[in-house]
Structure 1
């Protein structure tokens, strides 16, 4: 058994995680449905890699994500941090009474569950539901329709738990209390310094992680999803430092994510200096404690090529996080693949690889670049498109910001996953059909990566009910790309699109150079050069002269690794 422990740190990271676990839960439900789509019944994907089995005090068996989520106190909305499976009576009276004076209680009203969470509760209680939730028909005015749920979520998501259909273990949900500030104030690197160490938080968080680690047979790696645009970044860096000390030989794959609010226009030069220094310091420190870091989060996702067939609201974390979560679901599939047949083509999957394998592939080559770019095709096009259409690899577009386009890098290394691809006659393509299509696509290109590892699965991406209505009117019921738009609404959701074919790729390429040079250049301009405006700011964040120099050297080394001839790298070396 090769388990993965997932850690989500910060508000937007948890939005992504909520969608990610909804995909897993939907996959499990479809696999167990006797009338479900046969491709979801594959035994080649081992869900135990991400999930743990357990038992409540009442002897009920449980199956919950192997997850540690960290967020603000109050970020769970109407959901309890103890979850719903392990209900314990926390209101039981104490046997010891030491106070004999008057007692007054002040309690705030609990947040009301939205229609989606109400429907989950009704379903668990065995109450009759409506249209598609359990296949029944409407027979009561109190029942909830799927259309009402979708409409409610599209207009009213406030918390990442508002659309989560997953049961969590009580050790999974950690709320940071005692900060006395909201998310808008927790917006820069300095304000998050020491939060991990204060009030025994670090010990509590590490104990929760240890709970999941100790019950594993053999951990293949950690999957961290971290907000790097505010105070959660230094908290995550301190946590990662502790993880790297305690679990030295366990690789960390880190997705550094940025939500829509982090790309707001700044009104003053001071705010720009603070943000640019934060970006440089955050990236430098996070990358120091992981084997592979993947920056994710475009300033305007809706205007990107990745959203060609999507209608995304840039200001909505519920929308944006769904796209990033779909890509992360795809990149995680090879970690839980099991080839069942004597050859790869005899199975419905191929290309299984563990976390360490991907790390060594992308970060351990001759270049040793430990920063990867994430690309996605959502949904991916048919393998049998017309001659004038681009190949599947050409339809992969980046979700990583500040990446150069059309870069010919002869040393590029890729790890690609294609699943649920549509082949001849609109049917699901076989593993060999996908492999041949990718081989032909790269064989016909003059510029191709030095190495490409390909993983293939026939299981598409399932679209659960609480997925946002972000598909355009050229996307069909099973994710097929249509020749003419469907009349009606421009946005289609889970009631219209049940699954989609996906392709995702992580690549080590010199195309990441602008991202690295921007961080190094800004750090030198605002934090190192004589008379620069950020010297005092960095000092207030707790960084001394030696630490500032270390951050600059870390960023400079990354630039040199990608491009030894870089002018900005050479300038930093001469200081």
Structure 2
């Protein structure tokens, strides 16, 4: 077994994670459904990589994500941090008396379950009721109406990431940063989050929760970190990662630094602008210090990007944007759990299995040692037919990483691409050999091609669970096929109209990421390192001295130099 432990830190990271685990839960359900499409019943995906088997005190077997999720107190909505699966209540107040004065208790009203969560609860109660009768055809029509009501309520009412989560979590998984008493909008820079991890016993509590999942692994292949790095959670994640680097030095960390479009708002003053620029530089520098590969994810305007060509989403809704990023993460992590094939095996359904360390070696272990990867997606992926497949497939792969250069020719670029559920000729699912041949042809005919590309292929498409948002455009068919003419009626389509989609996602090491790196290096030098820098006092209040800042600048400079040895930015002579 080659297990992965996932860590989600921060609000938007948990929105992404909620969608991600919904995809996995949907795959588990379809694999066990005798009436499901055979492509889902024969996935050749090893879910044990991400999931663990357990048992409640009542002896019921459980199957839950191997996950530690961190967020502010009060961001779980109607969900308990202990979950419902194990019927455990939160610890009660201590009997130890340390204060003799007057004590007042302030309790907020619990959040009510929305229509979707109510339906999940009722469904589970029905399973527990032995006397529940089998529903007839009349009930099926009512169920469809209920599903429409559920989809509509989610579109208009998602406030927390738990509002659309259909997954049971282990009691050790969900951790609230209690006692900070901060609004999410106030937890907006590295300095504010600096002491959140070390304050009280939080750091040790988080380490214990992580240790719980790691120690039951037979052979852990890596950590998957998803971090909302737009505010104070980047500091929480950096401190957490530093502890992990000390305790699990030989276990690779793959880190996705995710941001919602709402985090890219323009600062209202020069002071806020300097603070934002320094946060971006410090956050990236610190996070990248403790991982093997870092992937910045999050466009300022996702809805108007080329990646959203076939989508109809709203940037102001984290529920929408996080779904796109989660779908892409599902695709990029697929190679980690594809079944291993023997040397003589020939599978019609999968190829290109690779572990976390393998991806790290492909992208960051080459001659120039670049550890910053760009994330691209084609959602849905186009069909692999016709002579111009290189234009349709490679042309549809569009970046989700911000601040990168376009049309860059990089002779040392390396890529890892995953294609799954794609259509071939006749509207049928393309076989592994067809995809391999088509993608190989596409790269050979491309005007710009990488030095090396690893390809992973699976026939299983991305399933669309009921709580997925209505973000597909009217050119997307029921199985994700791209239609020549739009479907009249609604400009957007959701889980009731689109049941699955083919996907293509790519991680690439390319000099196209230079603007992202140079921007952070320039801002750190200008506002933090140079004599009389306007942000020096702010950085001191965040706990960074001059030596710390020079070390960060040197690290960023080396990243730039690795991609462009002739860049003036990489010179530290100043």
Same-fold status (TM-score > 0.5): yes
Q: Is the 8 A contact 1:345 1:432 kept in 2?
A: no
The answer to whether residue 190 in structure 2 is matched with residue 189 in structure 1 is yes
Q: Distance in 2 between matches of 1:61 and 1:353?
A: 30
How far did residue 319 of structure 1 move? Answer: 0.4
- Cα deviation code 1:276-304 (max 9, x no counterpart): 00000000000000000000000000111
Name the residue aligned to 1:48.
48
The answer to whether residue 229 in structure 2 is matched with residue 228 in structure 1 is yes
Q: Distance in 1 between matches of 2:500 and 2:377?
A: 16
**3-state SS, counterpart of residue 203 of structure 1:** helix
Taking structure 1 as reference, are residues 299 and 344 closer, same or farther at Cα in structure 2, changes over 3 Å only? Answer: farther
Taking structure 1 as reference, are residues 340 and 91 closer, same or farther at Cα in structure 2, changes over 3 Å only? Answer: closer
How far did residue 268 of structure 1 move? Answer: 1.1
Counterparts of residues 291-306 of structure 1 (less than 5 Å): 291-306=292-307
How far did residue 368 of structure 1 move? Answer: 0.3
How far did residue 144 of structure 1 move? Answer: 7.0
How far did residue 42 of structure 1 move? Answer: 2.0
Q: Distance in 1 between matches of 2:223 and 2:497?
A: 35
Q: Is the 8 A contact 2:43 2:460 kept in 1?
A: no
Q: Distance in 1 between matches of 2:241 and 2:289?
A: 9
Q: Distance in 1 between matches of 2:92 and 2:278?
A: 50
**3-state SS, counterpart of residue 125 of structure 1:** helix
Taking structure 1 as reference, are residues 93 and 519 closer, same or farther at Cα in structure 2, changes over 3 Å only? Answer: closer
Q: Distance in 2 between matches of 1:150 and 1:322?
A: 14
Taking structure 1 as reference, are residues 105 and 387 closer, same or farther at Cα in structure 2, changes over 3 Å only? Answer: closer
Name the residue aligned to 2:551.
550
Q: Distance in 2 between matches of 1:87 and 1:144?
A: 31
Q: Distance in 2 between matches of 1:135 and 1:20?
A: 33
The answer to whether residue 10 in structure 2 is matched with residue 10 in structure 1 is yes
Q: Distance in 2 between matches of 1:103 and 1:574?
A: 60
How far did residue 227 of structure 1 move? Answer: 1.0
Taking structure 1 as reference, are residues 305 and 142 closer, same or farther at Cα in structure 2, changes over 3 Å only? Answer: closer
**3-state SS, counterpart of residue 332 of structure 1:** helix
Taking structure 1 as reference, are residues 428 and 2 closer, same or farther at Cα in structure 2, changes over 3 Å only? Answer: same
How far did residue 259 of structure 1 move? Answer: 1.6
How far did residue 446 of structure 1 move? Answer: 3.2
**3-state SS, counterpart of residue 303 of structure 2:** helix
Name the residue aligned to 1:28.
28
Taking structure 1 as reference, are residues 505 and 135 closer, same or farther at Cα in structure 2, changes over 3 Å only? Answer: farther
- Cα deviation code 1:199-253 (max 9, x no counterpart): 0100000000000001110000000000111000011000000000000100000
Q: Distance in 2 between matches of 1:474 and 1:37?
A: 23
The answer to whether residue 566 in structure 2 is matched with residue 565 in structure 1 is yes
Q: Is the 8 A contact 1:44 1:340 kept in 2?
A: no
Q: Distance in 1 between matches of 2:570 and 2:281?
A: 15
How many residue pairs were aligned? 568
Name the residue aligned to 2:573.
574
Taking structure 1 as reference, are residues 124 and 439 closer, same or farther at Cα in structure 2, changes over 3 Å only? Answer: same
**3-state SS, counterpart of residue 301 of structure 1:** coil
Q: Is the 8 A contact 1:335 1:352 kept in 2?
A: yes
Counterparts of residues 42-441 of structure 1 (less than 5 Å): 42=42, 44-88=44-88, 107-126=107-126, 137-138=138-139, 145-340=146-341, 343=344, 345-385=346-386, 387=388, 390-441=391-442
- Cα deviation code 1:355-414 (max 9, x no counterpart): 000001111100100000000000000001474982312210000000111111000000
Q: Distance in 2 between matches of 1:527 and 1:92?
A: 46
- Cα deviation code 1:504-544 (max 9, x no counterpart): 00000000000000000111111122222101111111101
User: Considering only aligned residues, what root-mean-square deviation do their CA atoms show, in Å?
Assistant: 2.5
How far did residue 339 of structure 1 move? Answer: 3.9
How far did residue 562 of structure 1 move? Answer: 0.8
Q: Is the 8 A contact 1:335 1:354 kept in 2?
A: yes
Give the unaligned 5+ runs of structure 1: 129-133
Normalised by the size of structure 2, how large is the TM-score?
Answer: 0.95
**3-state SS, counterpart of residue 108 of structure 2:** coil
Q: Distance in 2 between matches of 1:297 and 1:152?
A: 26
Q: Distance in 2 between matches of 1:3 and 1:388?
A: 36
Taking structure 1 as reference, are residues 93 and 520 closer, same or farther at Cα in structure 2, changes over 3 Å only? Answer: closer
Q: Structure 1 stretch 333-342 or stretch 469-478: which is displaced more?
A: 333-342
Q: Is the 8 A contact 1:301 1:314 kept in 2?
A: yes
**3-state SS, counterpart of residue 200 of structure 2:** helix
Give the unaligned 5+ runs of structure 2: 129-134
Q: Distance in 2 between matches of 1:405 and 1:372?
A: 15
Q: Distance in 2 between matches of 1:97 and 1:37?
A: 60
**3-state SS, counterpart of residue 24 of structure 2:** helix
Taking structure 1 as reference, are residues 19 and 303 closer, same or farther at Cα in structure 2, changes over 3 Å only? Answer: same
Taking structure 1 as reference, are residues 135 and 507 closer, same or farther at Cα in structure 2, changes over 3 Å only? Answer: farther
How far did residue 448 of structure 1 move? Answer: 0.7
Taking structure 1 as reference, are residues 89 and 391 closer, same or farther at Cα in structure 2, changes over 3 Å only? Answer: closer
Q: Distance in 2 between matches of 1:96 and 1:538?
A: 40
Taking structure 1 as reference, are residues 404 and 91 closer, same or farther at Cα in structure 2, changes over 3 Å only? Answer: closer
- Cα deviation code 1:79-118 (max 9, x no counterpart): 000111010356999999999x999875432110000000
**3-state SS, counterpart of residue 466 of structure 2:** coil
Q: Is the 8 A contact 1:339 1:347 kept in 2?
A: no
Q: Is the 8 A contact 1:27 1:462 kept in 2?
A: yes
Taking structure 1 as reference, are residues 356 and 47 closer, same or farther at Cα in structure 2, changes over 3 Å only? Answer: same
Q: Is the 8 A contact 1:2 1:49 kept in 2?
A: yes
Name the residue aligned to 2:132.
none
Q: Is the 8 A contact 1:341 1:347 kept in 2?
A: no
Counterparts of residues 511-522 of structure 1 (less than 5 Å): 511-522=512-523
**3-state SS, counterpart of residue 480 of structure 2:** coil
